[in-house]
Structure formats: structure tokens, C-alpha cells
Amino acid sequence: MLMNSNEYIEIIETIKGEIRGAQYKAALSANRELIMLYYHIGTVINEHKTWGSKFIENLATDIRISFPNVKGYSVRNLKYMAKFSETYPDEEFVQTVSAQIPWSHNTAILDKVKDTEQRVWYIKKTAENGWSHNVLIHQIESGLYERQALAEKISNFENRLASPQSELAMQTMKDPYIFDFIPFSENMVERDIENALVKDITKLLLELGTGFAFLGNQYHLNVGGDDFYIDLLFYNLNLRCYVVIELKTGEFKPEYAGQLNFYLSAVDGIIKHPEDNPSIGLLLCKSKNDLVAEYALKDMSKPIGVSEYKITSSLPENLSKQLPSIEDIQKRIKK
């Protein structure tokens, strides 16, 4: 019997998928075991705090003698284990949440995030998005929690989108967006910013968040013989919809929402497939009056969000000090 090439390809792809799945589960299981081991060691260390710091030094030495080829039991790491155990007294939480991310990610969160709720948020986001160690640090230093979880976001998503897309769209939004990889100049116009964003599309996608696929800038639409050009067009795989982004170098104006509403109607009429969710618009301005933006969106027929964006030199001083330099970020992204 002759082998069907298409059927064979499907079988190979299925097997490869199962192998990858098994490898991921094995890696996750190994990581969970390691995290729980470190947690239990940390618990023992904390139970003998009265023995002083010499206890940890002796422990590190004895482990190194007994297991000369095993790394991860330095004095510094043993202290991290003790801090980890003390910070998360609920062992079930460690097993089901903290153990979903690598040890280096857990220690980074311990070092850089002081609030318990924020720590849990960053742990879960790391597991959801598969952030590398460097990306996680960048997200923390850019204040992602404050910009995404705490920010008072201006949109009409709740009234224009069905659940759960409306909730997911709100969770995806940030305010402000931080484009700290763009060299700033005083006389920048929209096209300058747009070109800089597209030039470093990897960093733009990192800032926008998970699920965004870039489709083009100055994306051409022909409506009734007239030409229109969308600043930035994306498709979000999680939201299952097109996302239209318009950039403005000044303060928000109500007419900007009307223009974006028109673009969304055109995208839904020309590009959108029946199985896609309604397209979403995001208007990024240098500044905005929240009340004016709320009134402007109130009677718009399409789902639109309005956020500010910041470029390095225009960041608030307290946030600017927390951020690594452009050179540091470029080095991290390249690693």
C-alpha cells in the first residue's frame, strides 16, 4: 500500500506536537521540583535563624563538598531560598503559582517588587506570556503593573464589545504606553514616531503586549475611490480582531475619535472576516483630558480606547529613574 504524503505530513506534525508537549511538561515538572526543593531548604534555614549567618555559610560549604558538580547552593542563593520561603508562607501557592516560573524569575521578583499583590501579578503574567528573565526585568522597571493593572483607562469597550472580549481588551490596554527605545527630538511629528516604532518593531510588540501581530504602517484603504492610510494596523491573536492604532503628537481632540471610528468602520467592512471579532481602535496621544476623552467616546459606535504615550525624555522623573538606559534595553533584547 502506497504511503499518502499528505497523511504522512499530518502524522509527523501530530507526533512532533506531542513530543514538544511532553518536553514542556517534563521541563515544567523539573522546574516545579527544583522550586519546591529550594522552598523547603529555605523553610529549614528560617527555622534555625537563631544559629546566625554562620549556619548558612557552613551549609553552603557542606553541600558543595557532598555535591561538587551541583550548582545553585551558594551562600547568596541559600539566602534567596530563605527569603523566598519567608515571603510565601503558603506552600500550596508556591506549588501552584510560583513554581510555574523559573527560579531566576522568582528571585528577580523578590528583589524588585515589594508589594505582595504586585508579586503575584508579575508571577502570573510571566507564566502566561513566557517572558524571559530580561523581559521580566524590563516590564517591572517600566512600571507595567501600574500602567496595566492600576491605570484608570479611558475606553468605551464595556459598552461596545461583548464579554469576555471587553474585559480582555481592557486588560490589554496600558496608560501610558512607554516608547523608551525611541530617540527623542523636540520637533518630532507623527510620521517620525511611527517610523521609529516600526524600525524597532520587536520592542513595539513587547510594549503592546502578547498576541499582537504587525500588519503594516500607513496601511492603505480605498473607500469609494478615496484613499486613506492607517498609522499602524495589527491583528491580536488573543482578542481575535484587528487593532487600529493612530498616533498624535499633541493633546487629545474629540475629532481624533471620529476619524478613528471611521477607520474602524472601513476595516470591518473591507478587511474583517465573519469569524473575526469587531475591530478595536487605540488612540495614542502625547496628553489627554480624561473627561474630554470620555465624552468623545460616549456616542462612538466603534470600540475605542485612548491612552497617553511617553518617550524617554518626557517620562516623569520618578519613573525615568527606574528605567534602564536605551543602550541597556537594546543589549537585553538582543540577548
Confidence band, pLDDT 50/70/90 cuts, at residue 294:
very high
pLDDT for 4 equals: 58
- CB count in 10 Å sphere of residue 166: 18
Q: Is the pLDDT of residue 94 over 90?
A: yes
- Residue 183: per-residue pLDDT: 79
d(CA 128, CA 43): 28
Sign of the CA dihedral running 4, 9, 15, 18 = negative
pLDDT for res 73: 92
51-65, 178-192, 241-255: segment of lowest average pLDDT: 178-192
**For the segment 303-334, what is each residue's pLDDT rounded down to a tens digit?**
999 999 998 754 445 444 444 444 443 444 34
Query: How far, in Å, CA of 65 to CA of 79, rounded?
Result: 19
What is the C-alpha end-to-end distance of the chain, expressed in Å?
50
Amino acid at 80: Y
Q: Are 106 and 83 in contact (CB under 8 A)?
A: no
pLDDT for residue 11: 67
d(C-alpha 256, C-alpha 285), whole Å? 10
Better-predicted residue by pLDDT, 96 or 334: 96
Strand partners, 309: 177
Query: What is the structure's pLDDT at 329?
Result: 38
| Per-residue three-class SS string for the chain | CCCCHHHHHHHHHHHHHHHHHHHHHHHHHHHHHHHHHHHHHHHHHHHCHHHCHHHHHHHHHHHHHHCCCCCCCCHHHHHHHHHHHHHCCCHHHHHHCHHHCCHHHHHHHHHHCCCHHHHHHHHHHHHHHCCCHHHHHHHHHCCHHHHHHHCCCEECHHHHCCCCHHHHHHHHCCCCEEECCCCCCCCCCHHHHHHHHHHCHHHHHHHHCCCEEEEEEEEEEEECCEEEEEEEEEEECCCCEEEEEEEEEEECCHHHHHHHHHHHHHHHHHCCCCCCCCCEEEEEEEECCHHHHHHHHHCCCCCEEEEEEEEHHHCCHHHHHHCCCHHHHHHHHHC
Whole-number pLDDT of residue 331: 47
Q: What is the pLDDT of residue 10?
A: 74
What does the alpha-carbon distance between residue 177 and residue 226 come to, in Å, rounded to a whole number?
Answer: 32
pLDDT of residue 326: 41
User: How confident is the model at residue 5, as a pLDDT?
Assistant: 64
Give me the chain's average pLDDT, please: 88
**Is residue 51 scored above 90 in pLDDT?**
no
pLDDT at site 76:
95
Q: What are the φ and ψ backbone dihedral angles of 68, each rounded to 5 degrees?
A: -65, -25
Q: Give the pLDDT band of residue 180 (cuts 50, 70, 90).
A: confident
Q: What are phi and psi of 213, to 5 degrees?
A: -120, 125
Q: Is the pLDDT score of 291 beyond 80?
A: yes
DSSP bridge partners of 30: none
Q: Is the pTM of this model over 0.75?
A: yes
As given in the structure block, the three cell numbers for residue 307 are 491612552
Confidence of residue 181 (pLDDT cuts 50, 70, 90): confident
318, 187 contact by CB (below 8 A) = no
Q: What is the pLDDT of residues 273-285, one digit of tens each?
A: 999 999 999 999 9
Q: For residue 272, give Cα distances in angstroms to 269, 275, 278, 312.
A: 6, 8, 8, 35
pLDDT band at 16 (very low <50, low <70, confident <90, very high): confident
For 117-141, the pLDDT digits (tens) are 999 999 999 998 889 999 999 999 9
pLDDT in tens, 23-48: 666 777 889 999 999 999 999 999 98
Distance (Å, whole) CA 136 – CA 205: 15
